[in-house]
Amino acid sequence: MPVTDSFIASMIHTCTRRAFTATGVDGGGLETGSFADNGTGIVCRIEPLFGSSREVYIDTQLFLADFILYLLPDQGLEMNDKIIGTTSPFTDTYEVLKIADAPNGSDIHHREVVLRVAK
């Protein structure tokens, strides 16, 4: 089942995707690199998270998420990308903690992305 007009109408925000490009490895073995815009004016919806829904485990580490981002299913996104909100009041830079495709029958209805404000 395709994305409905009512869901598209609920996408009341826009954002920018910043993709990470690795350029090397630091002394601790972590990738170094830079971020560059890889999509602007992306239609989305950002909503705050509350209570226990903020808890996100990545491997065995606990993170506290701040927001959930809804995207249309055709939006590419990687775990190490950053999102910049471009619609007030969501104008911070956010780190991607988790990406999930929300199924609708045999199709993907939308993408749900758990975010936290970048430090």
Residue 35 near residue 65, CB atoms below 8 Å: no
Q: Was domain 5-117 assigned CATH 3.30.70.100?
A: no
Check pLDDT > 90 for residue 116. yes
Average pLDDT, the chain: 90
Write down the pLDDT at residue 105.
64
Domain assignments of the chain as residue spans, ordered by start: 5-117
Write down the pLDDT at residue 74.
84
Give the C-alpha separation, 22 to 97, whole Å.
19
Instruction: Between 68 and 105, name the one with better pLDDT.
Output: 68
- pLDDT tens by residue, 64-96: 999 999 998 888 899 889 999 999 999 999 999
Instruction: Between 102 and 55, name the one with better pLDDT.
Output: 55
